[in-house]
Amino acid sequence: MKLGPSALAFALALGPGAAHAQAMYNQARPGQYGGGFIELLMTGRDPGQPLRQVRQPPQPSAPANAAYRYVDPFDEPQVEREPERRRMAALPAAPHEAVPLREPSPEYQRQIVSFDGPEAPGTIVIDTPSRFLYLVQPGGQAIRYGIGVGRPGFTWAGVKTITAKREWPGWTPPPQMLKRRPDLPRHMEGGPDNPLGARALYLGSSLYRIHGTNEPHTIGQNVSSGCIRMMNEDVMDLYERVRVGTRVKVI
């Protein structure tokens, strides 16, 4: 079959490929001289034949521990991130019962002061809010010492007696303190590094003591777990002035 005038003109416009166009035209089926014929000329595919399935190359798989999955390069990239892991900041060690180093204020130095309370001479009066300890003297006077007292929640008041005295005492933290501070030693022998300092006066059957300290900068502050702290030279002075059975009033 020969090309019609219009088809032949179109084929001639293709130049040297006219003969090839004639052969492809001869392969066309009757009734397929429209768009199908043009498709045959332009693509070489007979629209009357079923499409062949093209096997797609296998897609690479991501490594098992990869943070990203494989995506088609023509798709919008979608990053698949690893599940977010919650990190806990390292907790700081429990702070010691201390404050930045400084010298105690001059008002906390040991001195003789006027005292007009009703307590008899020889009585110890501890003024917690003012952070002073008074050893009452005859003639309306008292020796006043600067002290450190319990921090908020650990202050107390009442009347006790001194039941024991110790020089360079050992320290065994009570169970209540170890529960709050499990990092503390179970026992520490007496000495310059011991937090009870040079002397200790034990108050009744309680856990409280009047004792020295290796942290003199804490005098005049609310820093302890209820004990009364004194500078070592002051507690040594008080230790020599009082005896077992001395009355102690804490206000």
- Active-site residue (options: 20, 187, 217, 227): 227
Q: How far is 120 from 132, CA to CA, in rounded Å?
A: 18
Specify whether 227 is catalytic. Answer: yes
C-alpha to C-alpha distance for 108 and 210, rounded to whole angstroms: 16
CA-to-CA separations, 178 to 49, 126, 184, 244, in angstroms, rounded: 89, 27, 7, 29
- What order of strands is seen across the sheet that includes strand 158-167? 111-114, 141-146, 132-137, 124-127, 247-250, 158-167, 199-203, 209-211, 228-229
Q: What is the number of H-type helices and E-type strands within the chain?
A: 5, 11
The answer to whether 238 touches 246, Cβ cutoff 8 Å, is: no
| 217 catalytically annotated | no
CB 128 within 8 A of CB 243: no
Q: What are phi and psi of 55, to 5 degrees?
A: -75, 125
- Output the CA angle 115-234-117, nearest 5 degrees: 15
The catalytic residue positions are 211, 227
